Chain A
Amino acid sequence: MSEETNKIKLKVYRTNYNKEESPHYDEFEVSVKRWTTVLDALLDAKSYSDSSLGIRYSCRMASCGSCGMKINGKPRLACYTKISELNDQTIVCDPLPSFPRIRDLVTDFTEFFSHHKKIEPYIHNEKVPIEVVNKDDLVEFKQTPEDVDKYLQFSYCIKCGLCYSACPTVATDTKFPGPQALSQTYRYMADNRDSGESTRLDIIDDRHGIWRCHFAGSCSNVCPKGVDPALGIQLLKGHLIGITKNDKKIATLRSKEE
């Protein structure tokens, strides 16, 4: 069974700050098929044209969130973007905007992860031991499917940074936590196993916190996992100004006998 092969031009942003190399674009001609992804094309260029090409990737199936880059002007995952869907003979790959650049298409996620870490993205609950030494100390919560539905879509976040790079506020305000961290704040607030709401709301209710979101909605537009960070942020805002109430009942623990 033969498949039609096309030739496309791959324009890749190149720079190496360690060598004081001035930024420029390198062009590679790559053969692609119907199912070829941008990551496949980049790896082809790296294998057969220029082995010094800097790319970060891992799972190749939109699960790890490593291969985020700006493809034809929009932040996307290279492994999740087929060249055929771009409808263009020239594919331009740039590093993710709003992230410090390391080399070529590789960006530094330190600040992004520090924003994520700052909102304490884990279950706060007095009934749960912080460290489990003994297997018998492991606990399980009782949650209904309806309880899970309240936060499920936000838990699909893979921390790829696409929403962060698309956000216009992040581009100007480095202290702004970004859509990823804010949507994760909502994810834990909506989770009825968690009781750390006031701690997290204190963190985001800041001069450079949630109120600097101007609802451009670009974050939800670029998310490869179908998460709607803009929705989470607006729901959080409503909660902070008292329009909506979080009337969740903290989930009870399942006893060993149950």
Chain B
Amino acid sequence: MPLLKLRESQIMKIHYLTGICAVFFVAIHILFRLIMPFGQSLEFHNVVANYHNMYYVILLELILVFISIHGFNGLRIILIELKQNQWWESTITILVLAAMIGVVAYGTRTIIIGSQL
């Protein structure tokens, strides 16, 4: 699997970049909440209206992808420090990748349903 053969420096480059991008896009996401009173921005019809804005949908999808990659790689780093053997490392990497794909797929499904694309 090519993903498993990435050098650690390449993985960490992705990790840092996704982290920076996530902070940037989450900041935009929070700013969206401030264009009207905060409580009002979380009302049902306003949230649904956000999902019908294509730019906002792209923003949500990007946040989902960046946070998933960054977060699950962070989890992999923590877990591979627990045990030092090839089986554990490969198992953790595969499980974390599978979980990441699962979360991104489920999140994307929610975004698509919400936006009625």
Contacts and interface: CB of A to CB of B under 8 A. Distances in A.
B7 A173 contact: no
A173 B16 contact: no
A interface, over-half SS: loop
B82 A172 contact: yes
Contact of A208 (B13, B16, B84): B84
Contacts of B7: 205
A140 interface: no
Interface size class of A (residues with CB under 8 A): 10 to 19
Interface size class of B (residues with CB under 8 A): 10 to 19
Given A241-B13, A241-B16, A211 B81 contact: no
Nearest to A206: B8
B80 to A, nearest CB: 6
B89 interface: yes
A239 B82 CA distance: 27
B81 A240 contact: no
A209 B12 CA distance: 12
A185 interface: no
A173 B84 contact: yes
Interface in B80-107: 80-82, 84, 89
A142 interface: no
B15 to A, nearest CB: 9
B116 interface: no
B12 A211 contact: yes
Contact of B9 (A175, A211, A212): A211
B16 A207 contact: no
A125 B31 CA distance: 56
Contacts of A240: 9, 12
B9 A169 contact: no
A174 interface: yes
Given A241-B13, A241-B16, A211 B84 contact: no
Contacts of A212: 77, 81
B8 A175 contact: no
Contacts of A174: 84
Contacts of A237: 12
A209 B84 CA distance: 12
A174 B89 CA distance: 14
Contacts of A172: 81-82
Interface of A: 169, 172-175, 205-212, 237, 240-242
10 contacts: A172-B81, A174-B84, A175-B84, A206-B8, A209-B8, A210-B8, A211-B8, A211-B12, A212-B81, A237-B12
Interface of B: 7-9, 11-13, 16, 77, 80-82, 84, 89
5 nearest A-B pairs in the assembled complex, by CB-CB distance: A240-B9, A175-B84, A173-B81, A205-B9, A241-B13
